Structure 1
Amino acid sequence: MTELIASTPGTTRYRIAVDTGGTFTDVVVGSDGGQMAVGKALTTYDRVFTGFEAAVRRAAESVGWDGHDVLSKADVIVYGTTHATNAVLTGKVAKTALLVTEGFADTLLLREGGRRDAFDSKAAYPGPYIPRHLTYEITERINAEGEILEALDDDQARRALQGLAAQNVEAVAVSLLWSIINDVHETRLGELIEEILPGVPYTLSHDANPTIREYRRSSAASIDASLKPLMADHLGNLRADLLTFGFAGDLLVVTSEGAVLDVADVLDRPVLLLNSGPSMAPLVGAAAAPDQETVVVCDMGGTTFDVSLVESGVVRHTRESWLGEPFVGHLTGLSSVAVSSIGAGGGSIAWIDGGGLLRVGPQSARSTPGPAAYGRGGEEPTVTDACVVLGYLDAAGFEGGFVLDRDAAERAITSRVTRPLGMTLRQAAQAILDVSANHMATAIRQAALEHGVDPRGALIVAGGGAGAMVAAAIGTLLEARTVLIPATAGVLAAYGAHRAPIATEFLSPLANDTRSFDSSSASRAVSDLKAKAAAFAERFDGVGAEAKFTYFVDARYPGQAWDLRVHLERAPEVSDAAGVIEAAFHEEHDRRNGTSDSKSRVEIITWGVRVEVPRPDQLSEPESSTGSQESHRTDSIIFGGEAYETPRYRGVTLGPGDRLVGPVVIDLPTTTIVVPPEWDAELDDRSNIYLTRKEA
């Protein structure tokens, strides 16, 4: 991909952003005239395109477009998915082997040490991502200076690879010691894999994650290799279906870095797809409140509840995103948007544990069969079913492509919660919602406090298909004063994908020290980064605005176990790099940890650059209607276990400055906003809705 396809004169062209979640597939369609349409349909696991096409068709029909035309005349499709993440967490990946330096077969087993509960001696030791019987030790050795201490034993390596062929291995990961300094042995193993295992995909660790941390490099390579067959099939089927439909534009894929890349790039490095979908919602939070010191972005779909932080308009990133439980899950060490996820969505199942306590999640009804109210055979009570029983969701006006079945929701809650706990139906539904809201509030507190942020002083931005229903309840639990529901809340991640830049990072792992600075190695590192960044930017010349280059280093004080990423205002020129880096590190360390040692030297572990190519903004801000501020009916809705006569408004009838006193419910095309009695709602001139807690 080098340039976006130009529109043919006289025809309307489109751009489509899609977020394929565990329950719903959300799309946002923009035309070259600036119009926008949104749609939502159930995710189809057997063929992702089926749900994607249904969502596009619903979006198109909502504004009078033709769904087939929208797909066939789209210049760009931006695709976000949780497919890779789910595959890793469930173990449904390719049968993968790992080749390591002799004596280091337990790297994936030992991880980086640590445990969540230091006093739990009965906790089972977690198994490695690739089992021990598929881990092969290769005779070779390179030291930290890149010197070959023991040459690669070609014959032994050949025998190992022939053994993999006999075991029908589907992918191979290679992670040798110090390959980031000298990759000659890893490269040779790649050549042997191509010779002995033709057609079997493989990943070399110095390509997957060039970091000095052995576990992270091995883990990234292993996960990347295991995903290659799966994602080649997944994205290949999607591309084939799009071509059959007449799509001839560019297919971009959302990455964990909060950016997009060409589909060919992610097929070469599918590890970048981990946490693909959730990385987009914070972009909307950053745009919605750029001047706010701290924004907590909550994205609640049908399966998960995702929390991320935005500070002064900047989305927080991390290299500590675990897949699964910290210390016992898997870690790649790659930079990604900092998102915390829990199994708390609209489809989260309510159940009674062995002690007779009500639990909600993490199990989900997903899209198949879905909550009982979906009428697709689901019998387990979910958060969505509770919202139907409480009156939050308009059964007849639900925008999922079907009518909600209230009777089925009542039966599910009655049989699985009401009777076992001796509650009334109203009490049981309220309890399900309360337990779920407490889970989400706890997740926000944990995510915020871990980064030194008090959620009580933060602006909460809530979205996702189910987020606006519980936003005020979460705000109450967090003692927040204001909650913002963006105009595109129901399709938060898909809308963010429309605005995501094309971006990637390049790393050069050359160690250095600010007090005994090696100018020659620093010059090599910076020159290498500049060349790679320029080559990447050139590929996308003409796509949007001029590429932006952000340089950084990963550094630490001597003796520290973990390094800190420090962004620099410009490329570190060798003449003053040591002083600039040292000063920047002290400042960042003080900002992040509340302390610094200005007299200490700083060890530089890795040099890096982020290349960002802004994409043209084709979406105009959502327009508010003139508004009649008339409710279309009044329902009896349950808040805190009590029934209130509550007016329902359609979002299209509201205009800028309209203020609604709670309790009230606002029905939007892709979500429902619930305003409890202790909250009020007000629209701004961009159709965003601010919920404000009343004074006690």
Structure 2
Amino acid sequence: MKRIGVDVGGTFTDIMYWDEDGDLAVHKVPSTPHDPSQATVDGVRQLAEQVGISVADLGQFLHGTTVATNIVLEHNGADVGLITTEGFRDILHIARKKRPYNYSSYQDLPWQKWQLVRRRNRRVVPERINAAGEVLVPLDEEAVREQVRVLKDNGVAAIAVCFLHAYRNPAHEQAVKRIIEQEYPGVFISLSSEVAPQYREYERFSTTALNAFVGPKVARYIDNLANTTREAGVRGDIRLMTSAGGLITSQHAVDNPVLLLTSGVVAGLLGGCAIGRASGYPSVITLDVGGTSADIGVAPDGKLRMKHLLDTRIGDYHAMVPMAEVDTIGAGGGSVAFVDEGGMFRVGPRSAGATPGPACYNRGGTEPTSTDAMVVLGWLQADSFLSGSMRVEPQLAEKAIEEHIANKLATSVEHAAVGIFQILAHAMTEAISLHSVRKGYDPRDFSLVAEGGAGPLYAWHIAQQLDIPRVIVPHHPGIASAMGLLATDIRVEQPATVWTSLAAPDLDSVRDAFARLEAQVTEQLTGDGLAPEDFVIERSLDCRYIGQGYELRVPAPAGDIDNTWVASASEAFHQVHERTYLQRFDDKPVHLVNVRVTGIGKVGHVPLAEIESGGEDASAAVKGTREAVFWTDGSKPATFPTTVYDRALLKAGNVLTGPAIVEQFDSTTVIGPRQRATIDRVGHIIIETAAGESAAVDAEGGQR
């Protein structure tokens, strides 16, 4: 089957093609923020022509998008109405009573300043179900009809329905859904019992409201993309990446758009895991630097870590959906450098984006960016962007840095450019430290996978700062997120709250919950066109010690759910707790809060073919030598003669000694002084610091 993966970023849209013969091709085009589908379709057509196929030959179209995330961050979602239990109108306003600044009397609470549902659109109706799922107050259907009419008159585009304890018994929410469909056909409907069927009142309300907030725009985007690709000739269904690192169908995404939050960033982590495995280093830290942001992920042994459900936030809102642990900061090739009113030298998080872009793009941008700094440092050349198809103007980069930074700080353009790089690199270093060292992982046990158009420009320096032993630069670093789409599986997860102590468990409720969830997952996967032999079912548990407020996810033991199973589940939790918090409490009873069933539909992954071997001599790949600025710890920046290589001509076994620059279509790789790089069997560049070698640097920064 011919497959294509498309990852839409803020600056570029990355595309990768793979077919059943193992042929691989990549492409990269500037994004079109006003209509992301335009760049997507144009890029797919160009890549199809490049590999000599018709767009109609594509059997699968895999997509990662930041559309849902951007809607939340930019606060421009739909007008949402809420129908909830009488007495619970202000749950979204009260939240968890946490304040960003504990001792400030004057502050805006983000979830109150930018409300997901305005108070006049939060409507209540008589109904009540208790925590056991028993009906205490029947649903007043006439009151529901009246409130739906009010919301219709108010012009809401989506309606969220959140009743107390609906995770135990969804009957009332389902009844309200039927009434809404009668009274307000066509409006987007979001039910908490479908979106987040778990206990935790505020988080469930927030997630359901978020789903409604992004729903109409995401649905229009997916429908537009589907129509546009269909008109272009694509026959296969679009499958989209979720925040948990799996693929879902376009219809599932339309029904549950909240699952697409952080969609694009997870693809980069999955791609990094595949890259690390291919080079023999499964434990990876991924650094995916694009034009607008940098995404950092940590995968010990190549396995995604999932965030705790109380930490799954997007912007200022809680989203109680499965999310892989990936952090995003505002640091990228388009990050704007400036001197603020207090005289502080700052870079980002504001980005020049695709339009107007960095000053050197000559598209109207006049502010200096990270990309402009690298042009001034000599790392990026006018003819190296997208193989020369995108020209840059070095004099415009120098002018922007001189006017906006160097003159204000009374320094040289060169030193200002070094400062821009180091400020952004420090932000990335701190983010990696936050997700590794501060969570019990030693960066020295990992390899740093440099991804994105700018990741290989920063990785050489960041690895030195954190003592990471090696940097892996994949064959196509700028397309790693698109590769992640082709390296993942179809994934569906369904949770349920059971709430029972494993000291005296209600095993029947556990069995019933697993059976119900497995039936739902199986129905969804078979409805997506998968045969039972094409997917596997996995079980997991959310457990905690009685009295704790946070659960930990634990793999569920295999076998029948009996006393032996309970003992195994308790021991599994003790082990996970010990690994997470460095202690266990065998004398404390374990509480089972949620059970989860995950269906994984296996698809063929992209195989990384071995490249031609060429020995250590890399002279055949040399493009020339140019002057570029570098430094080492404790040294001043200085100009070095730097060898420039053509990535396409490098062979397995080739050795490159820093400082060096490797140019290719989708990215540029920097190898610093005192570093040594080798090309491995699948074409990845492996960069390691060569302490004490001949590239030593004296105290003034000059080569000796």
TM-score bucket of the superposed structures, by smaller chain: over 0.9
Contact 1:629 1:655 in 2 (8 A): no
Alpha-carbon distance in structure 2 between the residues aligned to 1:57 and 1:183: 46
Alpha-carbon distance in structure 2 between the residues aligned to 1:544 and 1:408: 59
Contact 1:258 1:279 in 2 (8 A): yes
Alpha-carbon distance in structure 1 between the residues aligned to 2:550 and 2:560: 22
Aligned to 2:6: 18
Given the superposition, is the C-alpha separation of residues 60 and 154 from structure 1 closer, same or farther in structure 2, using an over 3 Å criterion? closer
Q: Which amino acid aligns with 2:135?
A: I
Q: Which amino acid aligns with 1:95?
A: D
Aligned to 1:65: 51
Q: Which moved more, 1:527-536 or 1:306-315?
A: 527-536
Contact 2:100 2:109 in 1 (8 A): no
Given the superposition, is the C-alpha separation of residues 571 and 377 from structure 1 closer, same or farther in structure 2, using an over 3 Å criterion? farther
Matched, 1:348 2:339: no
Aligned to 1:78: 62
CA deviation string 1:362-418 (max 9, x = no partner): 111111111111121111211011111111112113107421121221222122111
CA deviation string 1:214-238 (max 9, x = no partner): 1121111111112221011111111
Aligned to 1:614: 602
Aligned to 2:369: 382
- 1:129 is displaced (CA, Å) by 2.5
Aligned to 2:269: 282
Given the superposition, is the C-alpha separation of residues 596 and 145 from structure 1 closer, same or farther in structure 2, using an over 3 Å criterion? same
Matched, 1:668 2:664: yes
Given the superposition, is the C-alpha separation of residues 347 and 108 from structure 1 closer, same or farther in structure 2, using an over 3 Å criterion? same
Given the superposition, is the C-alpha separation of residues 254 and 423 from structure 1 closer, same or farther in structure 2, using an over 3 Å criterion? same
Matched, 1:106 2:85: no
Alpha-carbon distance in structure 1 between the residues aligned to 2:249 and 2:224: 16
Question: What secondary structure, in the 3-state scheme, does the structure 2 residue paired with 1:411 have?
Answer: helix
CA deviation string 1:241-292 (max 9, x = no partner): 1111111122111111111111111111111110001111222222233465
- 1:616 is displaced (CA, Å) by 1.7
Alpha-carbon distance in structure 2 between the residues aligned to 1:60 and 1:407: 36
- 1:44 is displaced (CA, Å) by 0.6
Q: Which moved more, 1:492-501 or 1:288-297?
A: 288-297
Aligned to 2:140: 153
RMSD across aligned positions (CA): 2.0
Question: What secondary structure, in the 3-state scheme, does the structure 2 residue paired with 1:648 have?
Answer: strand
Question: What secondary structure, in the 3-state scheme, does the structure 2 residue paired with 1:646 have?
Answer: strand
Question: What secondary structure, in the 3-state scheme, does the structure 2 residue paired with 1:453 have?
Answer: coil
Alpha-carbon distance in structure 2 between the residues aligned to 1:246 and 1:79: 16
Aligned residue runs from structure 1 range 271-420, under 5 A = 271-290=258-277, 292=281, 294-318=283-307, 319-324=309-314, 329-399=316-386, 401-420=389-408
Given the superposition, is the C-alpha separation of residues 490 and 544 from structure 1 closer, same or farther in structure 2, using an over 3 Å criterion? farther
Q: Which amino acid aligns with 1:582?
A: S
Given the superposition, is the C-alpha separation of residues 545 and 282 from structure 1 closer, same or farther in structure 2, using an over 3 Å criterion? farther
Question: What secondary structure, in the 3-state scheme, does the structure 2 residue paired with 1:280 have?
Answer: helix
Alpha-carbon distance in structure 2 between the residues aligned to 1:133 and 1:540: 39
Alpha-carbon distance in structure 2 between the residues aligned to 1:444 and 1:320: 21
- 1:105 is displaced (CA, Å) by 2.0
- 1:434 is displaced (CA, Å) by 0.8
- 1:545 is displaced (CA, Å) by 6.8
Q: Which moved more, 1:413-422 or 1:285-294?
A: 285-294
Contact 1:373 1:405 in 2 (8 A): yes
Aligned to 2:150: 163
Question: What secondary structure, in the 3-state scheme, does the structure 2 residue paired with 1:283 have?
Answer: helix
Q: Which amino acid aligns with 1:637?
A: A
Q: Which moved more, 1:429-438 or 1:114-123?
A: 114-123
Alpha-carbon distance in structure 1 between the residues aligned to 2:558 and 2:357: 51
CA deviation string 1:22-42 (max 9, x = no partner): 111000011332111111111
Alpha-carbon distance in structure 2 between the residues aligned to 1:541 and 1:600: 45
Q: What TM-score does the superposition give when structure 2 sets the normalisation length?
A: 0.92
Aligned to 1:693: 689
Q: Which moved more, 1:110-119 or 1:299-308?
A: 110-119
Q: What TM-score does the superposition give when structure 1 sets the normalisation length?
A: 0.93
Given the superposition, is the C-alpha separation of residues 623 and 119 from structure 1 closer, same or farther in structure 2, using an over 3 Å criterion? farther
Aligned to 1:200: 187
Aligned to 2:673: 677
- 1:439 is displaced (CA, Å) by 0.7
Q: Which amino acid aligns with 1:193?
A: I
Matched, 1:265 2:267: no
Q: Which moved more, 1:447-456 or 1:496-505?
A: 447-456
Aligned to 1:480: 468
Q: Which moved more, 1:638-647 or 1:540-549?
A: 540-549
Alpha-carbon distance in structure 2 between the residues aligned to 1:83 and 1:464: 19
Q: Which moved more, 1:93-102 or 1:664-673?
A: 93-102
Alpha-carbon distance in structure 1 between the residues aligned to 2:24 and 2:651: 18
Contact 1:649 1:667 in 2 (8 A): yes
Matched, 1:92 2:76: yes
Contact 2:312 2:321 in 1 (8 A): no
Given the superposition, is the C-alpha separation of residues 619 and 482 from structure 1 closer, same or farther in structure 2, using an over 3 Å criterion? closer
Alpha-carbon distance in structure 2 between the residues aligned to 1:544 and 1:394: 53
Alpha-carbon distance in structure 2 between the residues aligned to 1:662 and 1:485: 15
Contact 2:128 2:138 in 1 (8 A): yes
Question: What secondary structure, in the 3-state scheme, does the structure 2 residue paired with 1:395 have?
Answer: coil
Aligned to 2:648: 652
Alpha-carbon distance in structure 2 between the residues aligned to 1:376 and 1:687: 35
Aligned to 1:638: 629
Structure 2: gaps (5+ residues): 632-636, 693-704
- 1:456 is displaced (CA, Å) by 3.8
Q: Which amino acid aligns with 1:374?
A: Y
Alpha-carbon distance in structure 1 between the residues aligned to 2:337 and 2:639: 22
- For residue 177 of structure 2, the aligned residue among 164, 185, 190 is 190
Structure 1: gaps (5+ residues): 1-12
Alpha-carbon distance in structure 2 between the residues aligned to 1:303 and 1:593: 35
CA deviation string 1:472-503 (max 9, x = no partner): 11112223221111223111110010011001
Matched, 1:447 2:435: yes
CA deviation string 1:37-78 (max 9, x = no partner): 1111111122223212343355456xx424xx4422111110
Aligned to 1:3: none
Alpha-carbon distance in structure 2 between the residues aligned to 1:263 and 1:80: 12
Alpha-carbon distance in structure 2 between the residues aligned to 1:97 and 1:549: 36
Question: What secondary structure, in the 3-state scheme, does the structure 2 residue paired with 1:510 have?
Answer: strand
Number of equivalenced pairs: 677
Given the superposition, is the C-alpha separation of residues 675 and 667 from structure 1 closer, same or farther in structure 2, using an over 3 Å criterion? same
Given the superposition, is the C-alpha separation of residues 114 and 594 from structure 1 closer, same or farther in structure 2, using an over 3 Å criterion? farther
- 1:454 is displaced (CA, Å) by 2.5
Question: What secondary structure, in the 3-state scheme, does the structure 2 residue paired with 1:612 have?
Answer: strand
Alpha-carbon distance in structure 2 between the residues aligned to 1:468 and 1:41: 19
- 1:574 is displaced (CA, Å) by 3.8
Q: Which amino acid aligns with 1:684?
A: D
- 1:322 is displaced (CA, Å) by 4.5
Alpha-carbon distance in structure 2 between the residues aligned to 1:200 and 1:417: 51
Question: What secondary structure, in the 3-state scheme, does the structure 2 residue paired with 1:560 have?
Answer: coil
Matched, 1:226 2:213: yes
Given the superposition, is the C-alpha separation of residues 557 and 364 from structure 1 closer, same or farther in structure 2, using an over 3 Å criterion? same
Aligned to 2:566: 578
Given the superposition, is the C-alpha separation of residues 112 and 158 from structure 1 closer, same or farther in structure 2, using an over 3 Å criterion? same
- For residue 504 of structure 2, the aligned residue among 516, 533, 556 is 516
Alpha-carbon distance in structure 1 between the residues aligned to 2:468 and 2:682: 23
Aligned to 1:8: none
Q: Which moved more, 1:600-609 or 1:132-141?
A: 132-141
Contact 1:543 1:616 in 2 (8 A): no
